[in-house]
């Protein structure tokens, strides 16, 4: 199995796409149940969006890995585009909320760090696949694990900490 060809990675892609879809669905329901409380805090709707975007990034990346006959370069470009969208859009939300919400700086920085740790490996996957060096799809395995962790951290704040 190579980090630069999808052969041998099919089970990984299927499992991660399924897990991401299931988690995104559960998170969507949980957000819907707590929507009035989430909307009561200026910084929480964006955090809910970040959690969903991170899971969507995993779902789309894993789904792209299942496309048959795709070249390393094509997959690298696709994952890079997905990774950049999943990385940049929430950063814009975080910067706006950080300025407008009056939330403690520590909260904003922690939220940004969680997001960076989860999404930078996905961007790295795309770059590595395009270049043909540096680990390739092994970066995506790390990105998936960290993305699930980040989504769970966001969900914890939205579903448990909000109740305090």
- Could you read off the pLDDT of 41-88 as tens digits, one per residue? 887 888 899 999 999 999 999 999 999 999 999 999 999 999 999 999
Query: With bands split at pLDDT 50, 70 and 90, how would you rate the model's confidence at 36?
Result: very high
Asked whether residue 52 is assigned to any structural domain, the reply reads yes
For position 11, what pLDDT does the model report? Answer: 97
Domain count within the chain: 1
Which of left, alpha, beta for 8 (phi over 0: left; psi -120 to 50: alpha)? left
Mean pLDDT of the chain: 91
CA atoms lying within 13 Å on the CB side of residue 127: 9
User: 3 in a domain, yes or no?
Assistant: no
What SS3 class is residue 7? coil
Q: What are 87-102's pLDDT values in tens digits?
A: 998 888 777 776 666 7
Domain containing 49: what range? 10-163
Report the C-alpha gap between 92 and 4 in whole angstroms: 31
> Does residue 86 sit within a domain?
yes
DSSP secondary structure, 87-112, as one string: HHHHHHHHHHHHHHS---HHHHHHHH
Residue 141: inside a domain, yes or no? yes
Residue 155 lies in a domain: yes
Please report whether residue 100 resides in a domain: yes
Residue-wise pLDDT for 112-139, tens only, equals 899 999 999 999 999 999 999 999 999 9
Torsion of CA 131, 132, 138, 143, to 10 degrees: 20
In a domain, 2, yes or no: no
Domain annotation covers residue 4: no
């Amino acid at each position: 199995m190579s980090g630069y060809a999808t052969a041998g990675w099919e089970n990984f892609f299927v499992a991660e796409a399924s897990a991401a879809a299931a988690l995104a669905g559960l998170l969507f329901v949980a957000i819907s149940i707590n929507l009035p409380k989430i909307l009561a805090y200026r910084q929480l709707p964006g955090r809910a969006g970040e959690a969903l975007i991170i899971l969507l990034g995993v779902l789309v990346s894993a789904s792209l890995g299942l496309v048959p006959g795709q070249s390393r370069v094509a997959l690298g470009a696709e994952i890079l585009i997905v990774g950049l969208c999943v990385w940049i859009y929430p950063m814009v939300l975080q910067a706006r909320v950080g300025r407008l919400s009056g939330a403690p700086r520590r909260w904003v920085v922690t939220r940004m760090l969680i997001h960076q740790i989860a999404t930078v490996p996905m961007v790295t996957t795309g770059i590595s696949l395009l270049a043909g060096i540096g680990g390739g799809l092994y970066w995506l395995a790390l990105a998936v694990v960290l993305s699930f962790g980040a989504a769970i951290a966001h969900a914890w704040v939205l579903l448990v900490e909000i109740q305090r």
